[in-house]
Amino acid sequence: MAHQGAVAARRRAVMLAAMLLAFCCLIAGGGASAPAQDLGAKLSRDRAKLDEVHQKQDALAETIAEQNAQVNDLIAQVAAMQARQAAVREELAAEQAKLDRTVAELAREREHLRRVRARLQRSLVALRHLLVGIYISGRPDTASIVLGASNWSDAVAQGEYLDRIQSYDDAVISRAVSLRDEVRNAVARLRAARERIARARDAIAAREQQLADQGAELQARHAELVAARGARQRALDSLEGSEQALQDNMAHVADQIAQQQAAASGTAPAAPAPAPVPGSTATLMPDGQAAPPADAPPVVQSVIAAANQISSTPYIWGGGHGSWDSPGYDCSGAVSFALHGGGLLDSPLDSTGLETWGVPGAGSWITVYANAGHAWAVIAGLRWDTSGDVSGSGPRWHTDMASTSGFIARHPAGY
């Protein structure tokens, strides 16, 4: 932006100097006619109007530059927000996987609970039969067995039989108690699993809502800034139209003065400067980098070298706006990075900012094409673009030209 402003200032200074020189020549002529003096007075008035227009332009341009910086900062914030959202989405995916495992565990636990309850039911039936049998028949004690036995062997056999019955009774009771506890534990685990699922889902929903709110706020601020910048840009465009009209009028008056001076001195007026000639074409190398032509100016060579540095990076929305050094670049970030390498841009611009960068029209070496949704450039005959690549992976050099319909062409003065 600093380079752009300096070029514009020099352009204005050169034109004003030419106008002033023509006016001074008119004054120095001494014997100028009344029409020539009128032309000189008109030239002086137009110069005063042009100075006023330039002051308004400078004020608007400064405001737009500040808004460009704010928009660029917001783009960086939105890009960082999207990176955080991607990280959160990965975390949420991991949490969802945990939830899925918990739900599967819950299903298994329910099936286990169903089987345990069935076994408990059978155990309770067996226990009920046991208790009824004990109530009806009773159970002999050890003394009764000893006294009622005919001999010691018979007493031992009856005692062992009694022990087996007691062991069976104990097993039935123990099994019923164990299954009852297992059912209670399974119910507790089911309840805990349901609570974990509910908490996890609430946490996920809260984080998603928080990110959505932050993203919406940033987008709203971005839209507001872009709208404000657009209004000021339209005002600047109107002033540029007034400036162009004044410059055209002053050039016409200066030409009339020059013709009068030439007629008075008997010399022919100077021929107009030739139109700029398009620069040579760079070479696209097998490794995807561009080799600048030998006659390319140093600035153009530096722009190509900067673009080569990121010609293998991926496309990342907002890349190149928060910092020149980025793992990937979007369309305007890639164009800005290349221009910055040639000293043509101090800070990144988004695509709408590039619509007003430089001077209007196509350049001989560098032309930037931009609209509200995309930006790309033609540098030494090669297209520098993030779209159109077979893989669609990021900023790349292309030998084919894209359609320029719907794009505004701008170029750095002198290139």
pLDDT band at 409 (very low <50, low <70, confident <90, very high): very high
In the chain, the percentage of residues whose pLDDT exceeds 70 is 64
In this prediction, residue 98 carries a pLDDT of: 76
Which structural domain, as residue segments, surrounds residue 111? 1-273
Q: Residue 356's closest CA among 228, 230, 224?
A: 230
At residue 375 the predicted structure's pLDDT band, cuts being 50, 70 and 90, is very high
| Whether residue 362 is found in the same domain as residue 242 | no
Give Cβ neighbours of residue 204 (< 8 Å, ≥ 6 apart). Answer: 92, 95, 96
What is the domain-level CATH number for residue 396? 3.90.1720.10
Poorest-pLDDT segment among 81-85, 167-171, 323-327 = 167-171
**pLDDT value at position 67?**
72
Residues 161 and 261 in one domain: yes
Choose one of 240, 257, 273: the last residue of a domain: 273
411 C-beta neighbours (distance < 10 Å), count:
22
**307 and 336, same domain (yes or no):** yes
Q: Which residue has the higher pLDDT, 402 or 127?
A: 402
Q: Provide mean pLDDT across the span 240-268.
A: 68
One domain for residues 254 and 285: no
Residue at a domain's end among 273, 297, 316: 273
Closest-CA residue to 327 (of 352, 308, 310): 310
Alpha-carbon gap, residue 1 to 340, rounded angstroms: 10
Instruction: Tell me: do 232 and 337 sit in the same domain.
Output: no
Does pTM surpass 0.75? no
DSSP output for 201-217: HHHHHHHHHHHHHHHHH
| Separation of alpha carbons 71 and 143, rounded Å | 101
DSSP state of 415: -
Q: Indicate if the alpha-carbon torsion angle 156, 160, 162, 166 is positive or negative.
A: positive
The number of domains in the chain is 2
Q: Which of 50-59, 242-251, 260-269 has the highest mean pLDDT?
A: 50-59
Q: For strand 408-411 and strand 366-370, is the pairing parallel, antiparallel, or unpaired?
A: antiparallel
Question: Using CA atoms, how far apart are residues 364 and 295, in angstroms rounded to an integer?
Answer: 13
Burial of 241 (0-12, 13-18, 19+ CB in 10 A): exposed
Q: Check whether residue 342 and residue 359 sit in a common domain.
A: yes
369-374's contacts with Cβ under 8 Å and 24+ in sequence apart are: 369/402, 369/404, 369/407, 369/408, 369/409, 370/332, 370/335, 370/407, 370/408, 370/410, 371/406, 371/407, 371/408, 374/331, 374/407
- How sure is the predictor about 114, in pLDDT bands with cuts at 50, 70 and 90? confident
Residue 379: its pLDDT value, please? 96
Same domain, 227 and 319: no
Q: What is the mean pLDDT of residues 103-121?
A: 74
Token representation of residue 14? 């050169």
Confidence of residue 149 (pLDDT cuts 50, 70, 90): low
CA angle 244, 246, 250 (to 5 degrees): 115
Residue bearing the bigger pLDDT, 14 or 314? 314
CB-based contact 378:279 (threshold 8 Å): no
Q: What are the tens digits of pLDDT across the range 325-347? A: 999 999 999 999 999 999 999 88
Domain boundary among 253, 273, 293: 273
Average pLDDT along the chain: 75
The identity of residue 317, as a single letter, is W
372/370 Cα distance (integer angstroms): 7
Least confident of 208-212, 239-243, 309-313: 239-243
CA 122 to CA 19: how far, in whole Å? 112
Band the pLDDT of 31: cuts 50, 70, 90: very low
Which is higher by pLDDT, 151 or 299? Answer: 299
382 and 411, same domain (yes or no): yes
pLDDT at 285 over 80: yes
Note whether 102 and 153 are same-domain residues. Answer: yes
Same domain flag for 56 and 159: yes
Beta strand pairing call for 382-385 and 375-379: antiparallel
The pLDDT of residue 343 is: 94
Same domain for 285 and 215: no
Residue 171 has pLDDT above 50, yes or no: yes
Strand partners, 384: 377, 397
pLDDT score recorded for residue 265: 66
CA angle 374, 375, 378 (to 5 degrees): 145
Shared-domain flag, residues 161 and 37 = yes
Question: Is the predicted pLDDT of residue 48 greater than 70, yes or no?
Answer: yes
